[in-house]
Amino acid sequence: MSVPEKVVQVCEELIISDETLRRVMDALDHEINLGLGKETNSSATVKCFPTYVRCLPNGQEKGKFLALDLGGTNFRVLLIDLEGGSTTAKMVSKIYAVPTAVMVGPGDGLFDHIAQCLSTFMHEHKVENVKIPLGFTFSFPCRQEGLTKGILVTWTKGFNCSGVEGKDVVLMLQEAIRRRGDVEIDVLAVLNDTTGTLMACAYKNQDCRIGLIIGTGTNACYIEKLDKVELWNEDHNEPKQVIINTEWGAFGDNKCLDFIYTGYDREVDETSINPGKQIFEKMISGMYMGDIAGLVLRKLTREGHIFRGNGADEIFKRGAFHTKYISEIEGDKVGDWTNCRQILLEELGIPEPVTDQDCIVVRHVCEVVSRRAAHLVSAGLACLLNKIGEKKAVVAVDGSVYRFHPCFHNLMTAAIQKLVNPDMKFDLMLSEDGSGRGAALVAAVASRTASD
Ligand code: BGC
């Protein structure tokens, strides 16, 4: 049994050739240069924010740090003990849900919620009377004006709290803590999750140059030479480099990716909370990938290619086909449809019988959609690797899609190999919990370099 020709044809527009991926790389390189340029940054879509993080950890960082991690539907508080000289860190952490009402409510409500979770955590761990240095991982596009000042430019990933865009999120956090008055904090750094991921990996591996997230959203940061960052207004002392948060999720917002854009992408975008924004992210990340596959499956059902043409609208209600289903369905051994059947019958309520032929088509759709995402991320990475231009570089990666999809890593490795300059060696390394440990490390390096 094989994928019917008609299905192959429907899916074809989601397959991107190597040649087209090279066009994507060139376009991204162009947009990044606009982002880095003094004159062009204000109108650029790929903002390339300097993070003010210039020194990497040297492995000797020591001490207790608090870390806050906000970037998705969960919020985490961590207490981390860096031991200096050891590649592991002791840590305790707690996850708190961010209710949808808080995600789209008033900004003060969000920061009050964060402050409340932090206070509860500090009391539970009996550190409410200690002023512990804190790193705040805030994984949204922020224009930084220093290590402890981050102005939110725009919300992404389903957040839309009023009164935060254009404001300094560190100040909003400090005000919320002051309103409570029961704990004190000492914020040493605000950072993006990509920066945290890079730093956590650099703690163990000196060749780390890029931090990448493929989770609910997607983004990458990389180490750039100061003389290439026209935007940089600060000193040019050693180290003559800074981590740039590219915010590549917004790549394509100026329509420069229209040559790969499909009707499915348009539908996902138009019904999102932020239409017209985060176009690259919406083709790749976990918040949207399941929806794209769901739309293709709905079309194939409507046209009668699967499930005997029954129930397309009820079954594939928008948002019903989760990204994790793609990982689970592709996790089945070829020819074994256990996960696939379970999802179709039990989770989505497709009426029996679900045939092997149906499963073949469903898997094909998942593969096409996840490969497109993996290939687009690879084009982005190959562009950054070529920009860095060193003989070898390690890429620190985190995020649910990369972690849980059974072959994302291999798909990426193979695609980057084809796209990157031939003399360049690279490694993709899982950097677990970068947004937590990375926040502590940025705070630790900041306090170390301040006292040097
Ligand atoms: C945000 C980035 C973040 C990425 C991954 C995007 O939506 O704009 O700041 O790094 O998601 O979490």
| Lowest-confidence segment of 92-106, 171-185, 373-387, 437-451 by average pLDDT | 437-451
Residues involved in catalysis? 157, 193
CB distance 434 to ligand 1 below 6 Å: no
- DSSP, residue by residue, 26-83: HHHHHHHHHHH-TTTGGG-SS--EE-S--PPP-S--EEEEEEEEESSSEEEEEEEEEE
- Whether 452 shows a pLDDT value over 80: the answer reads no
- Whether 170 shows a pLDDT value over 80: the answer reads yes
126: left (phi over 0), alpha (psi -120 to 50) or beta: left
CB distance 217 to ligand 1 below 6 Å: yes
| Tokens describing residue 450 | 């301040």
* CB 89, CB 80: distance < 8 Å: yes
CB distance 156 to ligand 1 below 6 Å: yes
CB distance 286 to ligand 1 below 6 Å: no
Q: Which pLDDT band, with edges at 50, 70 and 90, does 451 fall under? A: low
- pLDDT for the residue 422: 95
What are the pLDDT digits (tens) for 282-310? 999 999 999 999 999 999 999 999 999 98
Element (H, E) at 186: strand 186-191
- pLDDT for the residue 26: 98
Q: Which pLDDT band, with edges at 50, 70 and 90, does 103 fall under? A: very high
The number of the ligand 1 atom at minimal distance from the alpha carbon of 193 is: 10
Helical spans, DSSP H, in 125-223? 169-180, 193-202
| Residue 90 neighbours by CB distance under 10 Å | 11
* Whole-angstrom distance, CA of residue 237 vs CA of residue 235: 6
Q: Which of 349, 355, 361, 353 is nearest to 297 (CA)?
A: 361
Ligand 1: which of 98, 247, 377, 398 to mutate, judged by most atoms within 8 Å of the beta carbon?
247
Q: What's the CA-to-centroid distance between 69 and ligand 1, angstroms?
A: 12
| Tokens describing residue 45 | 């879509």
Type of residue numbered 171: L
- pLDDT for the residue 432: 83
- Whether 447 shows a pLDDT value over 90: the answer reads no
Ligand 1: which of 212, 218, 246 to mutate, judged by most atoms within 8 Å of the beta carbon?
218
Q: Which residue has the higher pLDDT, 214 or 312?
A: 214
Burial class of residue 126 in the structure, from the number of CB atoms within 10 Å of its CB (0-12 exposed, 13-18 middle, 19+ buried): exposed
* CB 250, CB 45: distance < 8 Å: yes
Q: What's the CA-to-centroid distance between 219 and ligand 1, angstroms?
A: 5
* CB 4, CB 360: distance < 8 Å: no
- Whether 13 shows a pLDDT value over 70: the answer reads yes
- pLDDT for the residue 141: 98
- Whether 55 shows a pLDDT value over 90: the answer reads yes
* Whole-angstrom distance, CA of residue 55 vs CA of residue 442: 9
**pTM, 2 dp:** 0.97
As a whole number, mean pLDDT of residues 41-58 equals 96
CB distance 290 to ligand 1 below 6 Å: no
What are the pLDDT digits (tens) for 233-252? 999 999 999 999 999 999 99
- pLDDT for the residue 86: 60
Q: What's the CA-to-centroid distance between 153 and ligand 1, angstroms?
A: 12
* Whole-angstrom distance, CA of residue 175 vs CA of residue 156: 23
CB distance 281 to ligand 1 below 6 Å: yes
Helical spans, DSSP H, in 347-433? 356-388, 400-404, 408-419
Q: Which pLDDT band, with edges at 50, 70 and 90, does 88 fall under? A: low
Q: What's the CA-to-centroid distance between 247 and ligand 1, angstroms?
A: 7
Q: What's the CA-to-centroid distance between 400 and ligand 1, angstroms?
A: 13
* CB 106, CB 112: distance < 8 Å: no
- pLDDT for the residue 60: 84
Q: What's the CA-to-centroid distance between 288 and ligand 1, angstroms?
A: 13
Ligand 1: which of 155, 193, 274 to mutate, judged by most atoms within 8 Å of the beta carbon?
193
| Tokens describing residue 243 | 């981590």
Q: What is the mean pLDDT of the chain?
A: 95
> Which residue's alpha carbon is nearest to atom 2 within ligand 1?
140
- pLDDT for the residue 287: 97
Give the distance from CA 15 to its chain's centroid: 22
- pLDDT for the residue 158: 93
* CB 203, CB 87: distance < 8 Å: yes
* CB 66, CB 133: distance < 8 Å: yes
> Which residue's alpha carbon is nearest to atom 1 within ligand 1?
140
What are the pLDDT digits (tens) for 336-367? 999 999 999 999 999 889 999 999 999 999 99
Q: Which of 117, 170, 166, 139 is nearest to 69 (CA)?
A: 139
- pLDDT for the residue 72: 80
Q: What's the CA-to-centroid distance between 112 and ligand 1, angstroms?
A: 22
CB distance 215 to ligand 1 below 6 Å: yes
* CB 291, CB 262: distance < 8 Å: no
- pLDDT for the residue 59: 82
Residue whose token pair is 């499909």? 262
85: left (phi over 0), alpha (psi -120 to 50) or beta: left
As a whole number, mean pLDDT of residues 404-424 equals 97
